[in-house]
Amino acid sequence: MILIAIGSNLKSSLHGMPEKNCLEVIKILRKYFFVVNVSNFYKTEPIPKSNQPWYVNAAIEIKTNLKPKDIIDKLLFIENQFGRIRKQKNEARVIDLDLLCYGNLKINKRNLIIPHPRLHIRKFVIKPICDINPLWRHPILKIKAINLLKGLANQKIFNINSHYG
C-alpha cells in the first residue's frame, strides 16, 4: 500500500480555501497515479501548536510503478504548482504532500525517509489512514493504524465531510 498525506491551511490564489486546495490536488494526483482510496477530510489543529489557521488533512492510497524518489519529485512539483514556497519548518502552507509509506519498504537516506518518520505520532495522519485501512501496519513498528490511533487521543481533529473519493 502506498499512502500520501494531504494538508492545507492557507488560501491559494488558484483554488481558494484549504478544503478546495485539497480537492483540487486530488484531481491533479489522479493524473499521475491510480488513486485507490481517499479518506475523509479533517480539520486539525497545527502541530506544534501555534497561531496558524487550522489545517484540512486527508490521505490517499495510490498505485503506481514509480519508485519512491520519483513519487516525491512529483509531489514537490505539484506543491510548486500550487505556489508552495518552503522557508521554515512547520510553517503555514497552501498545500503539503507527504509520501507516508511505500508498501513495507524501509528507506533512511538524507532526502528520503520511508515510512514517514513522524506519521505514527500524528493523529491528522493516522485517522485518515484508518479511514482507508484501519488494519494497515506501520512497516517498522508493526502496529495497526487503529491501535496507533488509540494512543493519540489528545490531538484535536474534526471530521468535516463523509467522503471525497
- Number of domains comprising the chain: 1
User: Which pLDDT score, from 0 to 100, does residue 165 have?
Assistant: 46
Stronger pLDDT, 87 or 56, i.e. the higher one: 56
Domain of 131, CATH number, reads: 3.30.70.560
Active-site entry in 30, 93, 110, 131:
93
Residue 35 is assigned to a structural domain of this protein: yes
Residue 76 is assigned to a structural domain of this protein: yes
Query: pTM of the prediction?
Result: 0.92
Does the annotation count 93 as an active-site position? yes
Active-site entry in 86, 96, 122, 137:
96
User: Which pLDDT score, from 0 to 100, does residue 160 have?
Assistant: 85
Residue 164 is assigned to a structural domain of this protein: no
Q: What is the pLDDT of residues 109-132, one digit of tens each?
A: 988 999 999 999 999 999 999 999
Does the annotation count 96 as an active-site position? yes
Average the pLDDT over each of 3-12, 62-71, 91-100 and give the range with the smallest value: 91-100
- Which residue segment(s) compose the domain that 100 sits in? 2-159
Exposed, middle or buried by CB within 10 Å (0-12, 13-18, 19+), for 85? exposed
Residue 39 is assigned to a structural domain of this protein: yes
Residue 84 is assigned to a structural domain of this protein: yes
Cα(61)–Cα(142) distance, rounded to whole angstroms? 19
Residue with cell 513522524: 118
Helix axes 68-81, 18-32, angle to 10 degrees: 140
Active-site entry in 84, 110, 118, 122:
84
Residue 165 is assigned to a structural domain of this protein: no
Strand 55-63 and strand 2-8: the pairing is antiparallel
User: Which pLDDT score, from 0 to 100, does residue 162 have?
Assistant: 47
Residue 80 is assigned to a structural domain of this protein: yes
User: Average pLDDT of 88-116?
Assistant: 89
Active-site entry in 73, 98, 110, 122:
98
